[in-house]
Structure 1
Amino acid sequence: MLSLVIILLIVTIVIICRWYLSYVHSSLYWCWDNGNEEKRIFIDTDNISFPENFLWGTAAASYQCEGPGDKVPVASNWSQWEPAGIKHGQRCGMAVDHYHRYKEDTQLMRTLGCNAYRFSLAWDKIEPIEGQYDKDILAHYHDELKELHRQSIIPMITFHHFVHPLWFEQRSAFLNSSNIETFVRFVIDMFREFEDECHMWCTINEPEVYVSGGYFNGVFPPGHKSQANEASLVLQHLLQAHVEIYDNIKKIARQPEQHSIGIVKDIFQFDPWNPLNPLDIYASRILDHGMNGCILDFFRTGSLKWTMPGSIHRTYVNLRAPYTNDFIGLNYYSHFLIRFNLFKQPPFEILHRQDDSGSSLMTDMPYALYPEGLYRACVRLKNELPRIPIYITENGIADRYDDRRHLFLRRYLYALSRAINEAHCDIRGYFYWSLIDNFEWAEGYHMKFGLYHVDLQTQERTLRDGAKYFQYVIQKHREKYEKKNL
């Protein structure tokens, strides 16, 4: 009798576990038709719609695309980091010379149908010597903004996108609390400079990526590895700077209600490799909290609580924080599967799901194509930061051979449409990363994100075939509302 009870118990546990795994799988992965299913399943990725005043744009960072301009290259934290910190020993150099070709590149945006452009100001070029602003560089940005407006493209400016002057880095950058004031001063001066030409502002791009790259992985300057205590302090200072920037701009703006200010948050989901393994679950939750949860909690509650095994627990409270985002910029690319591994340091590894789609659904970074995650990230922001509008400030694919970009765009835009129309997320724009190929940070020039291919020898721009779906969607969106308004 006891044996029968044990057998029934085991069978019950197995059935429950299989049901749970099936439930988890169905909640994380949609049934795409990849051509290998026993029963054909078809998701109509053309069944999409977006709000009438939706912004369609591309995104870029000054360092990655501009080049030095007309002057001798100035020193920054990234120029010092090269070439030793870059794969294949590359230097950014002239990049893709967007500095001189901004009119041509703006016309490329119009050719795609875009009506918005997100870019960053080059702090390193604007203030190469502390306290001395380069008037020629400021004049250049005025000219670029005028060109954007001339071609009916709405600018969105980012104040800090990973790069700052070398003098700031030599003073320990955001590791030193006294430098917060220096950064805020620069931002306020730039707001005053361009207040009449721009009304959408991103304070800091991906603070957790800056932190993890510079103080965990060591693939970003300053290249410190496994420095959890430094990382948490830098994160605190970045969030503190955001709050101070928001409050100061709103105080000094002539018409504060016309200016929208937000931080840009990257979300990579950290999912357990085995949803039944408590160690995988624990490791994934620790990582998610350190990279995502603690920041979202800060903007929801005003309290930052950062924890990581083996490091100090850091707490920072600023009750102004929940009121310092007119929007949230969401950068989304993919997700990670986390497996606990005691024999690694730190004790986990990042894996990718193997299914019957094969390796073709990996990007070159390598990240998995995971459009479901864009939907999940939007819903998470809606739930954790309700009533704050969302802009997708980055989303794109590294695809050297341009054989997955079309599929990427179809699926991710479909996921975005579902987030808007089914989950009722207040998403107001989508910025593809990036318009043209550029210098992809530690990866150098080998990662091809651009809708336009760039020949680095001739600087010639060529529209990629995989990008034409993006152009098609924008065109259909515009035609839909033109007919509606006739």
Structure 2
Amino acid sequence: MPAADNASVFPDGFLWGAATAGHQTEGNNTLTGHWAMEHVEKSPFTEPSGDACDSYHRYAEDIALLAEAGLNTYRFSVEWARVEPEPGLFSTAELDHYLRMVQACRDAGVTPMVTLNHFTVPAWLSRTGAWDDEAAPELFARYCGRVATHFGSAVTWYCTLNEPNLGAMMTMGGLVPMSALEDVGAVARLDPSAQAAFAHRVGGDPDVARLGDPTQIASTAAIERVKESHRRARAAIKQANPAAKVGWTLALVDFQAFDGGEELTGQVREAGGSQFLRVSAEDDFVGVQTYTRQVMGPEGPVLVPEDAIVFQTGWEAYPEALGNSVRWAAEVAGVPVVVTENGMATADDEARIAYTRTALEGLRDAIEDGVDVRGYVHWTLLDNFEWHSGYAMTFGLISVDRDTFERTTKPSLGWLGEIARGNGRAL
């Protein structure tokens, strides 16, 4: 129910923001494994990222549009490959670039929330197996510590890894999660010649080289390695900035049991979510990224009803999933929650607003019931490169002209900004 007397149940200092990721928006991120894979024959990517949104040069405009709308938080990623183009070689110029992004946020009255790994890894780490490399935890922690040291006290909120649980949700749960259907399918169908060409581009053996995508974090060893990577990264960040708030972001599909699917649903929730949420119990917060639900019968996923409203991705538009996932995360992790992604891929901006309104109402209800939620960060600020789907999916609050890079705000940005200005009172 709405709060009485026009009071907001959202806590003071609530983070209202939007998110982007470096590879999806910056453009010409040429030193990553992803860039290499985008440019081989029979690539699983429908098109290369190319210039993306040219946000490497236009970040100040993006931050200004976000702030002018009324949002107070910008989640963006630092690209590991730019900062450490070769192992042990750190670029002061690139660290300064990202520090300028941080300062642009602060100058605009916006809280910077920094993601240190949003899917992509340097080509040199892809060469040695990415997250299958036993040295990955140490290497990742070294990089995170260097970034946090360079940023000093200018950044408080850090997300170490973005959605590291996708591979576990797929393989240990025995199904493809709706939140990663497109990307998981593309990786699973990877042509052997494309893998060989990719390995050649990054200078590795086809049996060893890995893209670094979280959907490939599938074996028990790799899952434990990425957990250790997070723990070591957190320690390195805290050493550089003891006041930092550190967590990681998890893809949490709202799994719902249907007609005998309770046992399988429980297995998938444990394998794909809860085992990672328990790691978050050691953190300052857990990032929740939810878009839809997946109904589970005794034999596996139940198809989306034909009459359901769907995303451009084919996922069911089920905004109630957010409140359910936030409750799940808080119960298992026992730490504050920040919604680090939620939104809708659609060309219909009114549908985006309707979806987001219902999702925020569910979030408000969870807060009223005592769940400690510190922020809501929408995915995404800009229509951008959506991985294997290329530029076909439009999640953004702002459209971007593919030729001129001109930004055009959508009504949804102003609507969400108005919600933020009143700290949720307008819901």
State the TM-score bracket (shorter-chain normalisation): 0.7 to 0.9
Rounded Cα–Cα distance in structure 1 between residues aligned with 2:264 and 2:25: 37
**2:343 corresponding residue in structure 1:** 396
Cα distance change on mapping 1:247 and 1:229 into 2, 3 Å: closer
Matched letter for residue 452 of structure 1:
I
Correspondence for 1:80: 36
In structure 2, relative to structure 1, the CA distance for the partners of 1:224 and 1:195 (3 Å cut) is closer
Q: How does 1:11-410 map to 2 (within 5 A)?
A: 49-68=9-28, 73-83=29-39, 84-87=42-45, 89-209=46-166, 217=184, 219-220=186-187, 222=210, 230-253=218-241, 256=242, 258-272=243-257, 275-277=258-260, 280-299=261-280, 322-323=281-282, 325-341=283-299, 348-353=300-305, 358-359=307-308, 361-386=309-334, 388-410=335-357
Residues 1:85 and 1:336: Cα distance change in structure 2 (over 3 Å): farther
Give CA-to-partner distance per residue, 1:413-450, whole Å, 9 cap, x none: 111111111x2111111101111111011111100011
Residues 114 and 403 (structure 1), Cα distance of their counterparts in 2 relative to 1, 3 Å cut: closer
Q: In structure 2, do the counterparts of structure 1 residues 129 and 248 end up closer, same or farther at CA, with 3 Å as the change threshold?
A: closer
Secondary structure of the structure 2 residue equivalent to 1:439 = coil
Displacement of 1:338 in angstroms is 2.6
2:417 aligned with 1:471: yes
Q: In the TM superposition, what is the alpha-carbon distance from 1:212 to its structure 2 partner?
A: 5.8
Q: Structure 1's 229 and 162: CA in aligned 2 closer, same or farther, altered over 3 A?
A: closer
Relative to structure 1, is the Cα distance of residues 466 and 250 closer, same or farther in structure 2, using a 3 angstrom cutoff? closer
Task: State which structure, 1 or 2, has the greater radius of gyration over its C-alpha atoms.
Answer: 1
Partners of 2:77 and 2:117 within 8 A in 1: yes
SS of the counterpart of 1:241? helix
What residue in structure 1 maps to residue 363 of structure 2? 416
Matched with 2:386 is: 440
Structure 1 residue identity aligned to 2:110 = I
Q: Whole-Å Cα distance in 1 between the matches of residues 217 and 403 of structure 2?
A: 44
Letter in 2 for 1:249: I
Deviations 1:284-323 (A, max 9, x none): 3322221112222444xxxxxxxxxxxxxxxxxxxxxx43
Residue type of the alignment partner of 1:271: Q
Structure 1 residues 464, 175: closer, same or farther in 2, change over 3 A? same
- Which of residues 355, 375, 382 is equivalent to 1:429? 375
Structure 1: distance between partners of 2:55 and 2:217 = 38
Which of 462, 473, 479 lines up with 2:408 in the alignment?
462
Alpha carbons of structure 1 residues 224 and 179: separation in structure 2 relative to 1, 3 Å: closer
CA distance in 2, matches of 1:394, 1:408: 14
Q: Give the AA of the match of 1:329.
A: G
Flag the structure with more relative contact order, 1 or 2, with Cα contacts below 8 A and sequence separation at least 6.
2
Describe the shift of the 1:243–1:168 C-alpha distance in structure 2 as closer, same or farther (beyond 3 A): same
Give the match's secondary structure for 2:34. helix
Cα distance change of structure 1 residues 459 and 185 upon mapping to structure 2, 3 Å threshold: same
What secondary structure does 1:111 align onto? helix
Cα shift at 1:106? 0.9
Residue 400 to residue 239, structure 1, CA distance change in 2 (3 Å):
same
CA RMSD of aligned residues (A): 2.8
Once the two structures are TM-superposed, the CA of residue 471 in structure 1 deviates from its matched residue by: 2.3
Alpha carbons of 1:140 and 1:244: their partners in 2 closer, same or farther (altered >3 Å)?
same
Deviation at 1:472, TM superposition (A): 2.4
| Distance verdict in 2 for CA 1:456–1:211, change over 3 Å | farther
CA distance in 2 between counterparts of 1:214 and 1:472 reads 41
Instruction: Say which SS state the counterpart of residue 93 (structure 1) adopts.
Output: coil
Post-superposition CA distance 1:251-286 (Å, at most 9, x none): 343xx1x211111122102223xx333xx3333332
- Could you tell me the TM-score, scaled by structure 2's length? 0.84
Aligned residue type for 1:185: R
Residues 365-415 of structure 1 show CA distances to partners (whole Å, capped at 9, x for unaligned) of 1222222221111111222222x1111111111012334111112111111
Is the contact between residue 334 and residue 368 of structure 1 (CA under 8 Å) also seen in structure 2?
yes
| Aligned mates of 1:64, 1:474 — CA distance in 2 | 25
Match of residue 194 from structure 2: none
Q: How far apart, in 1, do the equivalents of 2:83 and 2:168 lie?
A: 24
Q: Gaps (5+ residues) in structure 2?
A: 177-183, 191-209
Say if 1:123 and 1:165, in contact at 8 Å, map to a contact too. yes
TM-score by length of 1: 0.74
1:121/1:268 Cα in 2 relative to 1: closer, same or farther (>3 Å)? Answer: same
- Within 1, Cα distance between the matches of 2:412 and 2:24? 22
Q: Cα deviations across residues 6-55 of structure 1 (Å, max 9, x unaligned)?
A: xxxxxxxxxxxxxxxxxxxxxxxxxxxxxxxxxxxxx8799864222111
| Contact 1:214-1:224 at 8 Å conserved across structures | no
Matched residue, 2:199: none
Displacement of 1:200: 1.0
User: For the Cα contact (< 8 Å) 2:164–2:217, is it kept in 1?
Assistant: no
Task: Give the length in aligned residue pairs.
Answer: 390
Distance 1:97 1:369, change over 3 A: same
**Identity over aligned residues, as a percent?**
27
